[in-house]
């Protein structure tokens, strides 16, 4: 029976590694990365993945091997009566400690880039103010005067546009409870805290539409807080803003032409 259980434990590293080998090809993996920060973060993810993968496989296989070899039913040798090995303890303390410390220090640059080093001049010039509320994303773009908080601001909801290949700064706020501004394709995530105003900056490198997800429980409608990020060239972005601005000032409304079905 011991051999049977040993094989069961061997299945752990085999299927464990196997699943991670199968998943990317089957379409279950990190979303496409379209930002400059994203590739730093992805690189670190893979770094940790490989490191932990090797340790995982090694320790689990060793576990299997010992179970197989030292099964009481088949092991006729006397038990190795020892209380430990000082040398081994030193080795397997120092080595992991050094590795872990290295991993930590290696990551600091990426963290600083994403969360601490806001590009020069961007701090005072938000591209858009995003105010999260239950259960939508209220957007406010500075109008033609370029200043947020004036009557010509452009208000919108859920449909966030940003210019392509430019440093964008989002001024993140919340009107009521904690929310979280999560852009999976840009590897951006930041809690929106009521009472705080938090800058989030990124540069999107590919045009298209992407999901904006709320990633902090904000009530019953948390799942419903779907936003859409549209990345488009600067000219199209400006035009979109102009159209919104003029629609916002509408004093007349044309009779809708209903197409015949």
Residues 150-179 close enough to bind another protein by CB under 8 A: 150-151, 155, 157-159, 175-178
Cβ 53 vs Cβ 47: under 8 Å: no
Nearest approach, Cβ of 237 to another protein (angstroms)? 18
Interaction of residue 80 with another protein, rule CB under 8 A: yes
CA distance 58 to 215: 35
Q: Which is nearer to another protein, 222 or 236 (CB)?
A: 222
Nearest approach, Cβ of 241 to another protein (angstroms)? 16
Interaction of residue 259 with another protein, rule CB under 8 A: no
Q: Which is nearer to another protein, 35 or 127 (CB)?
A: 35
Classify residue 253 by its DSSP letter. -
Interaction of residue 72 with another protein, rule CB under 8 A: yes
Contacts of 169 (CB under 8 A, 6+ apart): 118, 122, 123, 125, 126, 127, 199, 200, 201
Among 128, 162, 168, 188, binds another protein (CB under 8 A): 188
Interaction of residue 31 with another protein, rule CB under 8 A: yes
Interaction of residue 232 with another protein, rule CB under 8 A: no
CA distance 231 to 133: 23
Nearest approach, Cβ of 64 to another protein (angstroms)? 9
* Cα-Cα-Cα-Cα dihedral sign, residues 111, 114, 119, 121: negative
Interaction of residue 29 with another protein, rule CB under 8 A: yes
Cβ 231 vs Cβ 208: under 8 Å: yes
Interaction of residue 128 with another protein, rule CB under 8 A: no
Among 142, 143, 163, 184, binds another protein (CB under 8 A): 184
Number of neighbours of residue 206 by Cβ within 10 angstroms: 13
Among 14, 36, 39, 70, binds another protein (CB under 8 A): 70
Nearest approach, Cβ of 167 to another protein (angstroms)? 18
Per DSSP, what are the bridge partners of residue 180?
191
Interaction of residue 2 with another protein, rule CB under 8 A: yes
Among 36, 39, 56, 122, binds another protein (CB under 8 A): 56
Interaction of residue 233 with another protein, rule CB under 8 A: no
**Edge-to-edge strand ranges of the sheet holding 136-141:** 154-157, 136-141, 128-133, 167-174, 198-203
Nearest approach, Cβ of 6 to another protein (angstroms)? 9
Cβ 172 vs Cβ 201: under 8 Å: no
Rg of the chain on CA atoms, in Å: 27
């Amino acid at each position: 029976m011991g051999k049977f259980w040993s094989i069961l434990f061997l299945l752990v590293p085999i299927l464990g590694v196997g699943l991670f080998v199968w998943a990317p090809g089957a379409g279950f993996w990190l979303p496409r990365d379209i930002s400059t920060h994203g590739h730093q973060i992805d690189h670190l993810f893979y770094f940790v993945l490989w490191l932990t993968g090797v340790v995982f496989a090694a320790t689990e296989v060793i576990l299997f091997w010992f179970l197989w070899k030292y099964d009481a039913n088949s092991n006729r040798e006397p038990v190795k009566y020892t209380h430990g090995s000082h040398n081994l303890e030193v080795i397997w303390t120092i080595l992991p400690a050094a590795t872990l410390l290295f991993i930590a220090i290696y990551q600091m640059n990426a963290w600083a880039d994403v969360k601490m080093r806001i590009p020069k001049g961007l701090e005072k010039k938000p591209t858009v103010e995003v105010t999260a509320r239950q259960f939508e994303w209220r957007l406010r773009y500075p109008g033609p005067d370029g200043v947020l908080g004036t009557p010509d601001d452009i208000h919108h909801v859920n449909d966030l546009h940003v210019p392509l290949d430019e440093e964008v700064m989002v001024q993140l706020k919340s009107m009521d409870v904690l929310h979280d501004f999560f852009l999976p394709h840009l590897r951006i995530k930041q809690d929106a805290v009521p009472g705080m105003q938090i800058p989030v900056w990124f540069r999107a490198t590919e045009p298209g539409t992407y999901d904006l997800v709320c990633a902090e429980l904000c009530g019953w409608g948390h799942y419903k807080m779907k936003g859409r990020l549209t990345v488009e060239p600067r000219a199209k972005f400006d035009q979109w803003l102009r159209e919104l601005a003029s629609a916002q000032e509408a004093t007349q409304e044309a009779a809708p032409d209903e197409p015949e079905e």
